[in-house]
Every structure is written in structure tokens, then in C-alpha cells.
């Protein structure tokens, strides 16, 4: 027994360590600015590339493709507040260069992108083959969904066996099998996280780099908590009737509820003082509910006295779990969605609606089971018992489908992040042999905005035309040319207020009246969010 106490303390220490692994995690980040700006033309090679994000991120992988086609990995990137500072090689040649970057946000998800800049003159934009490997993405999705299922079926059934009724021997062995499988699967999900972080193929799974990259993300804390949950659940069997076994089962439940809180969109949504407890309460309630489905269905097969006692206890306790699950779920949905707007037209919301479509019949069955079938089953009516058992089986199937949907959120940012990124400026650079312009639209989305222009000549010197007219049009949307005069402000920027009806790729034309006889024209394209 003393050895079991020692193991419990070790697991508790491991759980605390997983919490300490997590810094002040925020949420899913997005790129809002870069210096040099994508598409800019510079008079000399920059010494540093600065990427600015909505929230702090950690550097993962950076690749430079030079104008001569040479490709090399860049090192030495460091985080500084909201910025990533990347030293660039000295003496970059003239022409266009491409930097591919990959970072990880506080929720543990990789973020990637690329930007190009030119030195002295614009050349052919280098290409870099990139993109998510569908096989890797599918493996990550499947592994996450299976890990959720093993947590709820393994740890949840253990909790049922301690709080409601002892598990039958065969079911207890099956629960142990779930936990053992979870001990194997959780580290694999960490390795897949590392492959995704470095944009690597499966061949690198057994090398050190993906694992080191994964351990630097917040998902490592999630895996650590999941391992504690599975192991504590297994060890609770060593003291089936004692207090140590109960404490280990509760520790397993706490660790399982903490695991999703330590990474992912939901647990890192601001304000975290609200989102983190909401995730914990949500998962803890679901662990009790979902963890009871398999044991109840198993026990009701016989319908003997122990089964009826278990059903009665569960029916008495389940409202204490369902109500917090619903309330915390509403809180999390509101935090993730943000204010209504175009960002709601996203894959995340489509997955949320799919989840709700599964939850409605799931909650309906739960209410029907308790209101219409539990009392007749306790009264010994065999028909009600069989119907209740079938209904529980359907509940379990719906829960597994929910896990599959929730695992898909790994690949899409929530609307609150999409809306925040859409509020950031959109930028582009246009130039000719005689002049160049840096153009910014703030915010970079459809609706009311301000377009600002910084002008310079071909040698990067000041350019001061007598007037500037800006024209925008979008042939794909059938939007005719919108022409507006710009006003020169004291800071040297030309500005014009705009109201654009839609996002997408907008063509821009600038008419620079240099003098009574000289008119310079610049044209380009800028991408706006919806």
C-alpha cells in the first residue's frame, strides 16, 4: 500500500510538471505584419526579417530561397514579445528572395507562410513546394479522435467503477485495455505533432528533430497529462476496495480533464481565466457521462439487481454533470465565435454546426432515457430495459462521431482569430521603372477602410506629385472602377477613405500627376478579407 501511495505522489508530481511546462498560453496566433513587407523592393539587403503576430509564438523552421534558386535553412530566430526576429544571410544578391516560415502558437498548432522581397530590382519570384501532406493530416486527425475516445472510455469507465458501481471483470479488463492503448497512442500523437510542426514526412518520425519540436509546443503538456490519466487509471486497480484506488481514479479524472485544457483552441481562448476552467468543467462532466455509457449498457444486458442499483445511482448523479457540460459548452462557443460577422462563414463554424447536429439527438436521448425509460426499467419492465440499452448504444455511437468532428478543429482557426486577422491591414507594393508605392488598406477587409500610399522614386528617394488619384475595381465580382482623390497628410502618406462591398483580389491603379505634362501610372493587386 505504501508503494501505491508513492506511485500516486509521483503521478501527481508529473501532472504538476505538465502544468508548469505551459507558459502563459494565449490562443491561436496569426501573422499581422512583416518587415520587410511581402512584395517590397529594398535598396539594400536587410539584416533581419521581423514577423509580427497577434500573440507570442515560438520559431520552428525557416527557409530562404534566393534569386539564384539556392535554398537554405535559416537558424538563429528568436521570439521577442509578439515578434519573431530572424537574422538573414549577409550580402544577398540583387533580385527577388522568398522566405518560408513556420512557427507554433500557444495552442500548440503550427502556423506557416511565405513572403518575398526584392533587393534593387524585381526578379522572378522563387517557388517553394509546400503544403500539408494529406496522409499526415489524416493521421493526426485519426490519432486525435482515437485519443479522445480512449480517454473517455478508459478513464471514464474507471470513474464509473469507483463512483457508481463496480465494473464486471470482463469490462474492467476492457477498460484496462483502453488505458494501455492510450499509453501507446499518446506519445505517437506527440510525434505526429512534431512532423507537422516541421512540415516533415513520416520518414523522419524516428529522428530526434520532430520530437524535439513537439516537446517545445504546448501539446507536450497535453500528452503528459493524458499519460498521467491513463497510468493512474491502471494503477487504481491495485487497490480495488481501498482509498488509494479511489484517489488514483480521481487523479486520473483530473488529469484527463486537464489534458485538453493545456493546448488547443478552446483552452487558450481569451480570457483564459474563463476559458480554461470552462474546458476543465466541460471535460470532467463529459468524462462522467460518456464514461458511464459502456458500463450501463453492459450491466443492463443482464438487468439484475446490481444493474438496477447502478442505473439508479447514475440517474441521481447525472444532472450534476449534464448541467455544467451545457453551461460550459455555451461559454466556450461564445468565446470562440466572437461577434457575428463574416468570420462565422468558416470551416470551424461548419464543424461546430455538425457537432451541434450530433449533440441535439444525444441530449434528446439522454433526457428521454431518464424521463421515460429509467423508472420503468427500475420497476422491472423488460421492454423498457431493452429500449434503454439500445438507446445507450446509440448515445455511445453519437459520442464517437462527436470525437471525430472535434478532432477536425485541429486544422482550422476559430472565428475570433479570423476576425482579428481580418481587422489587420492588408499591404501590397507596386512599382515601375520611374516610381514605386507601398499601399496599405486598414482594416484589410470589406467595408469601411482607409487606403494609405507611401510614394518613392526608382532610387528609393522621395516622390512628391502634385496630386494622386486611386482607382480600384474587381472584375471577378463585377464591381466597376471606383476612383477617389487622395489627400496628402503631414506624415507624408497619401490617404483616401473607402467602402468596398466585398473581399477578394482587388486591382489598384494609381495616377500620379507629377506636373502639368507628366502623369505616372502604377498598377497592382491587393487581397482583402471578406
Write b or e for each residue in 140-155: b if 16 or more Cβ atoms lie within 10 A of its Cβ, otherwise e. bbebbbbbbbbbbbbb
Alpha helices in 164-218 (DSSP H): 169-197, 208-215
Measured from the Cβ of residue 304, the count of other Cβ atoms closer than 10 Å reads 10
- Give the three cell numbers for residue 428: 501590397
Give the pLDDT of residue 2. 56
Rounded (10°) CA dihedral 141, 143, 147, 153:
90
Contact (CB, 8 A) for 146 and 137: no
Q: What is the distance between the alpha carbons of residues 367 and 503, in angstroms, rounded to a whole number?
A: 45
Q: What is the distance between the alpha carbons of residues 268 and 105, in angstroms, rounded to a whole number?
A: 10
Picking from 73, 300, 47, 255, the residue whose alpha carbon sits closest to that of residue 158 is 255
Structure letter (DSSP) for residue 413: -
Give the pLDDT of residue 24. 42
Measured from the Cβ of residue 284, the count of other Cβ atoms closer than 10 Å reads 20
- Give the three cell numbers for residue 230: 491513463
Q: What is the pTM of this model?
A: 0.78
- Give the three cell numbers for residue 210: 520532430
Q: What is the distance between the alpha carbons of residues 320 and 366, in angstroms, rounded to a whole number?
A: 14
How buried is 136 (Cβ within 10 angstroms: 0-12 exposed, 13-18 middle, 19+ buried)?
middle
Q: What is the distance between the alpha carbons of residues 232 and 248, in angstroms, rounded to a whole number?
A: 5
Contact (CB, 8 A) for 187 and 215: no
- Give the three cell numbers for residue 186: 499518446
Structure letter (DSSP) for residue 56: -
Structural domains in the chain? 2-24+133-418 (no CATH), 31-119 (2.60.40.1220), 425-528 (2.60.40.1930)
Could you list the pLDDT tens digit for every one of the 530 residues in the chain?
555 555 555 555 555 554 545 444 444 567 777 888 777 777 888 888 888 887 778 888 888 887 677 788 888 888 887 888 888 888 788 888 888 888 887 666 777 788 888 887 777 666 665 556 788 889 999 999 999 999 999 999 999 999 899 999 999 999 999 999 999 999 999 999 888 888 788 888 888 888 888 887 888 889 999 999 999 999 888 766 667 778 888 989 999 999 988 887 777 777 888 888 999 999 999 999 999 999 999 999 887 888 899 999 999 999 999 999 999 999 999 988 888 877 788 888 999 999 999 999 999 999 999 889 999 999 889 999 999 999 999 999 999 999 999 998 888 888 887 777 777 788 888 877 788 888 888 888 888 889 898 888 877 778 888 888 988 888 777 777 788 898 888 888 989 898 888 887 888 888 888 887 888 888 888 888 77
- Give the three cell numbers for residue 127: 517557388
- Give the three cell numbers for residue 122: 524585381
Amino acid at each position: 500500500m505504501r508503494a501505491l501511495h508513492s506511485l500516486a505522489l509521483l503521478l501527481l508530481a508529473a501532472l504538476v510538471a505538465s502544468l508548469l511546462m505551459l507558459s502563459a498560453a494565449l490562443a491561436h496566433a496569426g501573422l499581422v505584419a512583416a518587415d520587410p513587407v511581402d512584395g517590397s523592393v529594398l535598396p539594400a539587403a536587410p539584416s533581419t526579417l521581423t514577423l509580427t503576430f497577434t500573440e507570442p509564438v515560438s520559431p520552428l523552421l525557416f527557409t530562404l530561397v534566393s534569386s539564384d534558386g539556392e535554398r537554405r535553412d535559416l537558424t538563429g530566430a528568436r521570439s521577442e514579445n509578439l515578434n519573431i526576429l530572424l537574422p538573414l544571410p549577409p550580402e544577398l544578391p540583387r533580385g527577388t528572395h522568398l522566405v518560408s516560415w513556420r512557427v507554433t502558437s500557444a495552442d500548440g498548432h503550427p502556423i506557416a507562410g511565405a513572403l518575398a522581397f526584392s533587393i534593387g530590382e524585381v526578379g522572378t519570384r522563387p517557388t517553394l513546394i509546400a503544403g500539408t501532406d494529406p496522409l499526415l493530416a489524416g493521421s493526426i486527425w485519426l490519432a486525435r479522435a482515437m485519443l479522445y475516445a480512449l480517454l473517455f472510455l478508459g478513464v471514464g469507465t474507471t470513474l464509473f467503477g469507483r463512483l457508481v458501481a463496480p465494473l464486471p471483470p470482463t469490462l474492467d479488463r476492457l477498460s484496462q485495455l483502453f488505458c494501455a492503448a492510450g499509453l501507446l497512442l499518446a506519445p505517437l500523437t506527440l510525434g505526429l505533432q512534431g512532423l507537422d510542426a516541421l512540415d516533415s514526412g513520416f520518414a523522419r518520425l524516428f529522428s530526434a528533430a520532430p520530437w524535439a519540436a513537439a516537446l517545445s509546443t504546448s501539446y507536450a503538456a497535453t500528452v503528459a497529462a493524458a499519460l498521467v490519466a491513463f497510468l493512474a487509471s491502471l494503477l487504481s486497480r491495485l487497490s480495488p476496495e481501498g482509498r488509494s484506488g479511489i484517489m488514483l481514479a480521481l487523479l486520473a479524472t483530473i488529469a484527463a480533464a486537464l489534458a485538453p485544457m493545456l493546448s488547443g483552441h478552446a483552452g487558450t481562448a481569451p480570457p483564459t481565466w474563463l476559458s480554461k476552467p470552462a474546458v476543465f468543467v466541460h471535460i470532467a462532466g463529459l468524462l462522467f457521462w460518456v464514461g458511464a455509457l459502456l458500463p450501463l449498457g453492459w450491466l443492463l444486458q443482464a438487468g439484475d439487481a446490481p444493474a438496477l442499483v447502478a442505473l439508479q445511482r447514475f440517474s441521481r448523479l447525472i444532472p450534476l454533470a449534464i448541467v455544467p457540460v451545457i453551461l460550459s459548452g455555451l461559454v466556450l462557443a461564445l468565446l470562440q465565435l466572437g461577434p457575428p460577422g463574416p468570420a462565422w462563414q468558416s470551416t470551424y463554424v461548419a464543424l461546430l454546426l455538425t457537432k451541434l447536429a450530433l449533440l441535439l439527438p444525444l441530449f434528446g436521448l439522454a433526457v428521454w432515457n431518464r424521463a421515460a425509460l429509467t423508472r420503468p426499467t427500475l420497476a422491472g419492465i423488460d421492454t423498457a430495459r431493452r429500449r434503454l440499452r439500445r438507446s445507450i448504444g446509440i448515445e455511445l455511437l453519437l459520442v464517437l462521431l462527436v470525437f471525430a468532428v472535434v478532432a477536425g478543429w485541429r486544422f482550422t482557426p476559430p472565428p475570433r482569430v479570423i476576425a482579428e486577422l481580418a481587422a489587420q491591414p492588408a499591404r501590397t507594393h507596386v512599382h515601375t521603372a520611374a516610381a514605386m508605392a507601398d499601399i496599405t488598406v486598414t482594416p484589410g477587409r470589406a467595408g469601411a477602410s482607409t487606403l494609405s500610399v507611401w510614394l518613392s522614386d526608382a532610387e528609393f528617394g522621395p516622390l512628391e506629385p502634385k496630386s494622386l488619384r486611386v482607382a480600384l475595381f474587381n472584375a471577378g465580382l463585377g464591381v466597376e472602377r471606383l476612383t477617389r482623390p487622395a489627400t496628402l497628410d503631414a506624415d507624408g502618406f497619401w490617404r483616401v477613405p473607402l467602402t468596398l462591398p466585398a473581399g477578394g483580389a482587388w486591382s489598384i491603379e494609381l495616377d500620379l500627376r507629377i506636373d502639368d505634362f507628366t502623369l505616372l501610372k502604377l498598377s497592382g493587386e491587393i487581397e482583402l478579407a471578406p
